[in-house]
């Protein structure tokens, strides 16, 4: 029997990896849960594990908020020592935080396979620490579990071996389906308390990105925007980093005086789901990544306070809008979204790109079927010193495997007749171009 090590550092990571842990438990697999301590708060973190019916972490490394460089170094050291002691067959982590980067580097440095869940998401914005983290992690992971077909293409475009990439969907869909049933009978207490305090329609708001909360101008613009929202209530889930910056920039008094805002510390996942599934929830206003997916699945319009997103499918299908941190632009976008008479049609036509809710099973099936291929082995001898890449035009319909066998090559990317990169298909069509590597 093989063993797994799950690494988490923040509450969203716990939520996203919970279905895989529960599936591992259901299969009677041997596994260890490790909390880095990145965003550890005993009351909130323990509550998340209790609510999600997960056993408590086997190890808490206690590496809490410090300078990022020091935090990363401490995590790599402690995780590396622990991995050598535990000797898992594979380490798994989800997302794009410092904890994920540390888990990946500690694994590969010790030649322990690392599996990245939620790989291939790209905003192509290197001012975002999360973007840097996920690109580094994806480049050296042993096996990559992509949440969407676009994520697969992103990875192929970056030259990552196709055999390491697996489209499984996003585990957040599993979480919504597994845990969503638990709130149908009874509204969780934290959600219930907030719903009692307003009888109006409401917007759920979360703001925590460095670019928003550590920029005084942006944070002030957001506070002034919230003051202008009059027609609905606002349920604001206040991240500790956001609270600290509101205090530092002397905006907290102004923020707390917003009349129609219900202020709450972070709440448990069941309560978040309950609020989002409530018929009075009309909009998500956020800079979060995961909430964009959850809103899409639950058919709630979303406004993302960022210039870009690693979930572009939601923007392309017009159920998520990006907006700059300018008060007038945000207010106008809120009014347009709440007044959009076509929003139901847009959701009816929305093609959900993040899987069918069986990601947890696919991930563990793939690991079981690929254990022998995950071990670290020396590279082959390349006749030209390294892989060489060529573009080939497809003149007639032909199987991908026939092309690879005939030319002794590996197809690394396919462009369709419009020049768009697509996942590698079994059958290549006339007019396609393929990028191949030759050993």
Same-domain status, 365 and 339 = no
> Which residue ranges in the chain fall short of pLDDT 50?
none
Nearest to 289 by CA among 110, 408, 147: 147
State the pTM of this model.
0.91
Same-domain status, 344 and 234 = yes
- Starting at the edge strand found earlier in the chain, the sheet holding 433-438 runs 388-393, 433-438, 409-415, 421-422
**Residue 378 falls inside a structural domain:** no
Same-domain status, 345 and 361 = no
Same-domain status, 124 and 101 = yes
Active site residue 239: no
| Helix, strand or coil, per DSSP, at residue 256 | helix
Residues 76 and 40: beta-carbon distance below 8 Å = no
Write down the pLDDT at residue 42: 59
Residues 393 and 436: beta-carbon distance below 8 Å = no
Same-domain status, 132 and 29 = yes
Write down the pLDDT at residue 53: 81
Nearest to 277 by CA among 258, 263, 295, 260: 295
Same-domain status, 68 and 155 = yes
Nearest to 299 by CA among 233, 347, 255: 347
Same-domain status, 331 and 365 = no
Domain that holds residue 14: 3-170+356-373
Task: Report the DSSP beta bridge partners of residue 401.
Answer: none
Options 35, 39, 166, 208, the catalytic residue: 208
Same-domain status, 401 and 336 = no
Write down the pLDDT at residue 66: 66
Task: Report the DSSP beta bridge partners of residue 286.
Answer: 206, 304
Q: What is the CATH number of the domain that holds 222?
A: 3.40.50.2000
pLDDT digits (tens, 9 = 90+) for 276-317: 999 999 999 999 988 999 999 999 999 999 999 999 999 999
């Amino acid at each position: 029997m093989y063993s797994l090590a799950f690494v988490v550092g923040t509450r969203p990571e716990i939520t996203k990896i919970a279905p895989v842990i529960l599936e591992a438990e259901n299969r009677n697999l041997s596994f260890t849960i490790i909390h880095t301590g990145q965003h550890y708060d005993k009351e909130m973190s323990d509550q998340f594990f209790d609510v999600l019916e997960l056993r408590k972490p086997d190890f808490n490394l206690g590496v809490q908020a410090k300078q990022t460089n020091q935090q990363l170094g401490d995590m790599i050291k402690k995780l590396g020592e622990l991995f050598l002691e535990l000797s898992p067959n594979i380490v798994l982590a989800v997302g794009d935080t410092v904890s994920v980067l540390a888990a990946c580097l500690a694994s590969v440095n010790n030649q322990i396979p690392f599996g990245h869940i939620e790989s291939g998401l790209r905003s192509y914005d290197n001012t975002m620490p999360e973007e840097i983290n996920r690109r580094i992690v994806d480049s050296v992971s042993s096996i990559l579990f992509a949440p969407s077909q676009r994520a697969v293409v992103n990875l192929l475009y970056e030259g990552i071996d196709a055999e390491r990439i697996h489209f499984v969907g996003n585990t957040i869909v599993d979480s919504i389906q597994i845990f969503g049933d638990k709130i149908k009978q009874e509204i969780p207490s934290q959600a219930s308390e907030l719903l009692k305090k307003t009888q109006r329609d409401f917007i759920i708001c979360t703001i925590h990105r460095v670019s928003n909360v550590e920029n005084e101008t942006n944070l002030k613009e957001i506070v002034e925007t919230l003051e202008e929202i009059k027609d609905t209530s606002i349920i604001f889930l206040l991240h500790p980093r956001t609270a600290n910056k509101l205090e530092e920039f002397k905006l907290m008094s102004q923020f707390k005086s917003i009349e129609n805002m219900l202020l709450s510390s972070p709440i448990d996942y069941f309560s978040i789901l309950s609020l989002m599934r409530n018929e009075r929830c009309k909009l998500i206003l956020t800079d979060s990544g995961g909430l964009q997916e959850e809103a899409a699945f639950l058919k709630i319009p979303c406004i993302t306070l960022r210039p870009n997103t690693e979930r572009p499918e939601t923007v392309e299908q017009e159920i998520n809008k990006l907006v700059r941190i300018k008060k007038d632009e945000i207010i106008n976008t809120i009014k347009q979204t709440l007044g959009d008479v076509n929003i139901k049609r847009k959701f009816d036509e929305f093609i959900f790109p993040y899987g069918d809710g069986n990601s947890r099973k696919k991930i563990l099936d793939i690991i079981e079927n690929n254990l022998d291929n995950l071990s670290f082995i020396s590279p082959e001898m390349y006749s030209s010193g390294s892989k060489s890449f060529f573009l080939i035009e497809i003149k007639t319909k032909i199987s991908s495997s026939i092309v690879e066998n005939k030319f002794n090559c590996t197809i690394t990317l396919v462009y369709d007749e419009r020049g768009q990169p697509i996942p590698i298909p079994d059958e290549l069509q006339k007019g396609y171009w393929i990028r191949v590597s030759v050993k």
